[in-house]
Amino acid sequence: MKAQTLFIISLVVLFSCNAGSEKNTETNKAIQDSVQSYLDAYNKTYKELNIISNEASWMTQIRIVEGDSTNSVANNKAQEAYAKFTGSTENIEMAKKYLIQQEQLTPLQVKQLKAILYKAANNPETLQDLVKTRIKAETEQTEKLFGFDFKIDGKSVSTNDIDGMLSHEKNMGKRLKAWEASKEVGKGLKSGLVNLRDLRNKTVQGLGYNDYFEYQVSDYGMSSKEMIEMLQKFNKELYPLFRELHTYARYELAKKYAVKDVPDLIPTHWLPNRWGQDWSSLVDVEGINLDSALKTKDAEWIVKQGERFYVSIGFPELPKSFWEKSDLYPAPADAKYKKNNHASAWHMDYDQDVRSLMSVIPNSEWYETSHHELGHIYYYLSYSNPEVPILLREGANRAYHEALGSMMGMAAMQKPFMENLNLIPKGSKTDEMKTLLKEALNYVVFIPFSTGTMSMFEHDLYAENLPADQFNKRWWELAAKYQGIAPEKARGEEYCDAATKTHINDDAAQYYDYALSYILLFQVHDHIAKNILHQDPHATNYYGNKEVGKFIAEIMKPGASADWRKLLKEKTGSDLSAKAMLDYFAPLMDYLKKENAGRKYTLPEL
Ligand code: X8Z
Ligand code: ZN
């Protein structure tokens, strides 16, 4: 009897459990269906509004005409419509409501709902006047930055001209003039930056973020503290090598410019880059001089060569519209308009309308940058597939988007690759240590700039509310501490040298993306070299290798539907780590210590 009762009870329990789980599946399905129709509608409108706002924004960047506000007015209108939709209270409430039941939803649905909330936080309807003001201020800032007429001795010059002078000019007086000319634009951008800082902070505070820096970092699923700690860790790991490079550069530059007293901090106008972020043109390696090889090519060849490389490893040819609609070359000297002189890649319609904005001239910098931009373009094309909803057509994280094209740029500058393309004579003997040194002056030198000067400045700007009368003071403190550089003459607060960097104005609080992208690119490159090509990471040739292409495409295809940490582990077997980058440059340490023997080090030992 007892046993029988037990049996019956068990049956009831079993039955009701079964019924429950069936019912659960049914309810899940019902909820998922209703979430899906919401998401489908959201994605559709999101795409339509983006097409309009990207097109308007594109026009403001390729044609800046003083006194003509046609493009900026249209742009503000389009951005407002985009903001109104993405920040609408209705969308925020729907996404929040559905997320309460996230256990019942598919992972892809949860990701999209979170993306909706993330985008909403930048444009909340509850603060719509503030958002409108911010949009207008952003458009104005970009116009001021790229509409600026740089001048040396009263004569207009392009940023390509200035960069060329900083790369090649030997006359110190002329170098100083070029560097100072490049910083003039900052003066007029300062009040705009102060205003934008406040507006950006206030908008995201509406949905509960402390500040704009925290908001941007949260896209990685991290807190500001976690991000800062990670950046500091990477910087610390590369610091011993950077300290050797810094010492080496101080002495070599003093020699080059025949200056007897070697300065403790490198004068900014001694360096080949306006921000001291890349020192690679200090070293020429005999036998593999890309710049001289490129003298026989034209600007179009540079971009086409980038495409040939991607196609050779299995990517498709670029859509015809890329060539028709991109704006790839500098505006003519006598043009009645200016254009954004910083390189960018655009996904106009979240599908096949991809474009790039550049000012390519045939030199090694633009060769590298073209590969970088095409990396973005092929990323866009790769995740524009039916598996990836419009909302998730982004990188696995923002650093991935920056990394893969930069990796292709690096690969395209290695000796076996360039030999294969007949950019340098085959079989010539070259100094491998010098090559590694040249690379370190690019990739290693970039780390203190990106993790330090840029990221710490933006952290202080947004999270610490850096007072406006300390912008330049803080900028140069950070540049001295992290990069070991200093301006020749004191730079008062009438200047705003941070604002001369594009990203401070129009890609705010995101520069660590590039720092992480360099760490990531060495990790992925190391894997490709060792496990796919079975070649020394220092001397690879990716060209024509379909396995390499397949590997890169697999990283690109899922876009933001992938979890960036899992993807990295899956693809390279490790978590994000500077190990590959450190291994790559390790042979330089001994070489530099010998070169620097007897020299005074002016950066502290850690
Ligand atoms: O801004 C860029 C790209 C934008 S798509 C050209 N880069 C950083 C910079 O120029 O400061 C690429 C590497 C660093
Ligand atoms: Zn980029």
> In this structure, what CATH number is given to the domain that contains residue 549?
1.10.1370.30
Query: Is the separation of the CB atoms in 307 and 374 below 8 Å?
Result: yes
Q: Which residue's CA is minimally distant from atom 3 of ligand 1?
A: 343
pLDDT > 70: what percent of the chain?
Answer: 97
- Asked if residue 42 belongs to a domain, the reply is no
pLDDT digits (tens, 9 = 90+) for 40-96: 999 999 999 999 999 999 999 999 999 999 999 999 999 999 999 999 999 999 999
pLDDT digits (tens, 9 = 90+) for 101-158: 999 999 999 999 999 999 999 999 999 999 999 999 999 999 999 999 999 999 999 9
> Quick one: how far is CA 293 from the chain centroid?
28
pLDDT > 90: what percent of the chain?
Answer: 95
**Ligand 1, pocket residues at CB < 6 Å:** 343-345, 369, 372, 514
- Asked if residue 325 belongs to a domain, the reply is yes
- Asked if residue 84 belongs to a domain, the reply is no
Greater model confidence, 9 or 138: 138
> Which atom, in ligand 1's list, is nearest to the CA of 344?
5
Contacts 24+ apart (CB under 8 A), 572-575: 572/523, 572/524, 572/526, 572/527, 573/527, 574/523
Give the chain's domain count: 1
- Asked if residue 76 belongs to a domain, the reply is no
Expressed in angstroms and rounded, the spacing between residue 502 Cα and the centre of ligand 1 is 9
Residue 535 makes CB contacts below 8 A (sequence gap 6+) with 416, 529, 541
Q: Which residue's CA is minimally distant from atom 5 of ligand 1?
A: 344
Residue 17 has pLDDT above 60, yes or no: no
155 - beta bridge partners?
Answer: 152
- Asked if residue 575 belongs to a domain, the reply is yes
Q: Cα separation of 368 and 357, whole Å?
A: 15
> Which atom, in ligand 1's list, is nearest to the CA of 517?
13
- Which residue out of 341, 368, 402 has the highest number of ligand 1 atoms within 8 Å of its CB and is therefore the one to mutate? 402
Expressed in angstroms and rounded, the spacing between residue 356 Cα and the centre of ligand 1 is 13
Q: Cα separation of 377 and 107, whole Å?
A: 27
- Asked if residue 566 belongs to a domain, the reply is yes
- Asked if residue 434 belongs to a domain, the reply is yes
> Which atom, in ligand 1's list, is nearest to the CA of 277?
11
Q: Which residue's CA is minimally distant from atom 14 of ligand 1?
A: 514
Give me the domain span that covers residue 496. 148-215+230-595
Expressed in angstroms and rounded, the spacing between residue 373 Cα and the centre of ligand 2 is 6
- Asked if residue 521 belongs to a domain, the reply is yes
**Taken in order 14, 20, 21, 23, is the CA torsion positive or negative?**
positive
Expressed in angstroms and rounded, the spacing between residue 477 Cα and the centre of ligand 2 is 27
Expressed in angstroms and rounded, the spacing between residue 175 Cα and the centre of ligand 1 is 23
